[in-house]
Amino acid sequence: MSLAGRLAGAVDTALDRTIAPGYSRVGYAVRSRLPGWPEDPEPGALAGRHVLVTGASSGLGTQTARELAALGAHVQLVVRDRAKGEAVRAGLAAELGEVFTLRTCDLGDLEAVARLADELAAEELPLAALVHNAGALPATRTESPQGHELSMALHVLAPVLLTERLLPHLAGQATRVVLVTSGGMYAQPLRDDDPEYLTGDYSGTTAYARSKRVQVELLPVLQRRWSGAGLHVYATHPGWADTPGVLESLPTFHKVTSPVLRDLHQGVDTTVWLSAVRPAPAGGSLWHDRRVRPVALTSKTRSTPGQVDRTWRWVCETLELPEEV
């Protein structure tokens, strides 16, 4: 590697490990100008293909849909609130044309997720990517219709179930699966002993981070499981992005950091890049700013294979899936 390449790598790593500079708009601005910044997807890279984006009615979800459509995709917008989703769909269509289909689904409800998967499979859409972006940060412990802690149901169980139910249809399509996670997961260890947050004083922020920790820890498991169907599995965290969710759920954080928060384009850049760039990067890893990142930064949050195995067993038992396929 050239000296310039080594220096660029050192700057990139320093930004990543110091958190605040790397997660802010400063980190994106610096990295995107360093030597070795990966090329953008080609114009029209998704022409003739469909992409599914959950949580598409605001913030990062809407921006992801916008940028994927700009690359030629027909975007399936999955929302919970149909009226809000229809307003977003109409706005996007006015910008980019009638290349958006609205679908309503409460992703916290596993029965609704199964129905959505069956609906999509019946239509046999050429799906280039599934972007699992939907998220929530409940202030108090909330259960899904099936009795699961809502953060875990929405961020882990729903994406796995939706992808699993679509798997026979996706075989051979080289589909990308992108889990939009959070840098907050770096603060939490994998709680394989209490995935439903049944013990201790409940914190919505902690529950959110724990569920995001599960997402990244399961990446190698999901890549092995789904690779036979030709899928590439990634997680990406957007850094500190200025979204309605951050403003609503973390108002103090938003107020303090607002001068350096990323705009929506910067927040979705790697999600869009992973969904469209050719050839597909190797799956099974966490990404941020178009680079693979470690899933743990300290020994306190580093998981053991046994913890990951027990967590995956809980997911399979909960969703009634075989552990191996």
Provide the annotated active-site residues.
208
62 to each of 67, 69, 89, how far by Cα in Å? Answer: 9, 11, 9
Q: Burial letters for 160-187: b for 16+ Cβ neighbours within 10 Å, e otherwise? A: bbbbbbbbebbeebbbbbbbbbbbbbbb
Phi, psi of 14 (to 5 degrees): -60, -40
CB of 227 closer than 8 Å to CB of 313: no
Residue type, 128: A
Which amino acid makes up residue 107? L
CB 131 within 8 A of CB 51: yes
Question: 142 with 193: CB under 8 angstroms?
Answer: no
How many other C-beta atoms lie within 10 A of the C-beta of residue 33? 9
Residue 167 CA: distances (Å) to CA of 111, 128, 228, 281: 17, 13, 10, 20
Q: Cα Rg for the chain, rounded, in angstroms?
A: 19
Helix axes 158-170, 305-319, angle to 10 degrees: 80
Report the distance separating Cα 292 and Cα 223, nearest Å.
Answer: 15
